[in-house]
């Protein structure tokens, strides 16, 4: 397995991982009709835009298998909820892996890549948001040393879902 910065041309594989991982990880959290309606094409446009106009502080990293296929990605940048959590300068915005790659260390390596990127941009603390009803994600962040900070909600398709926020005062890597 290889971790590397994402580049233009990766957007289709990133989008595919994004959709498939949502469909796996959020089964029983989000409605089935919502998950089945997720579009690789829409996510591909979003990721193409992000990769074509990168912001210095934001980093997108991918994990490739031995056949150079993307099996996961993570991205991070400045804390988007700095009004609520001003002591945390960076944020792990997303981390998604294909289900068959869960539990093999890939997620930790992606978090490590993002934290090095954030530290390189002067962001030395970090937080992450997760669905409250997603125990595997919560355990993953706790295993990496994150501390529970609080709760919130996110509106997806007109429905409110519980979220939790975890943070690292010192980066885990």
Q: What CATH number has the domain bearing residue 137?
A: 3.40.630.30
Tokens representing 137 are 């994600």
Helix (H, G, I), strand (E, B) or coil at 15: helix
pLDDT of residue 53: 86
User: Does some domain include residue 55?
Assistant: yes
User: Does some domain include residue 173?
Assistant: no
Is 95 in contact with 110 (CB distance < 8 Å)? yes
pLDDT in tens, 43-87: 999 999 999 987 888 999 999 999 999 999 999 999 998 889 999
Angle of helix 40-52 relative to helix 11-25, nearest 10 degrees? 130
User: Does some domain include residue 23?
Assistant: yes
User: Does some domain include residue 53?
Assistant: yes
Rounded to two decimals, the pTM is 0.95
Long-range (24+ apart) CB contacts under 8 A made by 157-160 are 157/31, 157/34, 159/31
User: Does some domain include residue 11?
Assistant: yes
User: Does some domain include residue 47?
Assistant: yes
Number of domains in the chain: 1
User: Does some domain include residue 39?
Assistant: yes
Domain limits for position 24: 2-168
Specify the DSSP class assigned to residue 66: T
Burial per residue of 109-134, b for 16 or more beta-carbon CB atoms within 10 angstroms, e otherwise: bbbbbbbebbbebebebbbbbbbbeb
Q: How far is CA 60 from the centre of its chain?
A: 9
């Amino acid at each position: 397995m290889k971790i590397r910065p994402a580049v233009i041309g990766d957007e289709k594989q990133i989008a595919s991982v994004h959709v498939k991982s949502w469909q796996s990880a959020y089964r029983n959290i989000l409605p089935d009709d919502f998950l089945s309606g997720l579009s690789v094409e829409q996510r591909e446009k979003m990721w193409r835009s992000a990769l074509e106009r990168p912001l210095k502080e934001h980093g997108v990293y991918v994990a490739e298998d031995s056949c150079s296929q993307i099996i996961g990605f993570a991205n991070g940048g400045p804390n988007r909820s700095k009004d609520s959590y001003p002591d945390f300068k960076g944020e792990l915005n997303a981390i998604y892996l294909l289900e068959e790659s869960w539990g093999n260390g890939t997620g930790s390596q992606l978090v490590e890549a993002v934290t090095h990127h954030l530290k390189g941009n002067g962001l030395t603390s970090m937080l992450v948001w997760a669905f409250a009803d997603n125990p595997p994600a919560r355990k993953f962040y706790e295993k990496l040393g994150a501390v529970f900070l609080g709760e919130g909600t996110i509106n997806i398709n007109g429905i409110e879902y519980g979220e939790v926020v975890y943070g690292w005062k010192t980066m885990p890597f």
